[in-house]
Structure formats: structure tokens, C-alpha cells
Amino acid sequence: MNLENLSLIPDNYKDRDPRNLLYHFPSMPKVKFAKLMNKFYYFKALEAVEEAARKNGFILVPFQCMHWKRKKDYALDRKVKCCGRSFFMMKVSELTSSEKNKLIAFLEENDLLGNVVAS
């Protein structure tokens, strides 16, 4: 499995763009609209961060997939926060086997394993 081409962003997040929902449905509950917008903008921001990481030769690894000591070692120069969630920019060759397994489990858990970045 080639981890360099996998993405943390769902393929279909742009299909349900909520930006024009309030125009078409003015009586839509504001809290529901806010939740939809937060989710949409989270993936939009994550897409920009992931693109920047790929241009520098890195992949994004979620905070919970990293070992605590390696989190501390890489926190200064490779930690990225996106909408309150932390990610690390890592090269695939730098990942340990347990971190690769945790990343694959994270992708499976969130149904993102089939997502591939278009090169």
C-alpha cells in the first residue's frame, strides 16, 4: 500500500456544499447550518494543508497516530493545527511500523482508505 497517495479528505465532501443552502431554505435551523459549514470548512482547510504538505514532500499524519516521544521531537517544526486538530507533516520513510499501522487503522475507521490524491 502506497501511503504517499492516500488522503485524509473524503472524496465527496465538495458534492454537498452547504454554502447555498440558507438561500434555498431560509427556515433551516441555524445550528444545523453552522454544523454543516464547520464540517465543510474543516475539510476545505485540511485540503489546503494537505496540498502544502505534499508540495514539500510530506504526508499528514493525525496527532493520535504518533508516538508521544516523537510528537515531542517533531512538535516545533512539523506540527500543523487545522481547525483545532493537530497533524504532523512526516515523510513516509520516517514513519515507524506502528505509526503506519495506526495511520491505516485511522483511515479504515473513518472510511478514507480508498481516497487517493489526484497527482
CB atoms within 10 A of CB 116: 12
pLDDT digit string, tens, across residues 37-49: 999 999 999 999 9
Helix (H, G, I), strand (E, B) or coil at 88: strand
Domain count, the chain: 1
Which residue from 95, 20, 97 is spatially nearest to 60, judged by alpha carbons?
Answer: 95
Q: Write the CB contacts of 101 (distance below 8 Å, at least 6 apart in sequence).
A: none
This prediction's pTM: 0.85
Residue 119 placed within a domain: no
Residue 59 placed within a domain: yes
* DSSP conformational letter for 6: B
| Domain that residue 33 falls in | 3-109
pLDDT above 70 coverage of the chain, percent: 94
Q: Which amino acid is at 57?
A: G
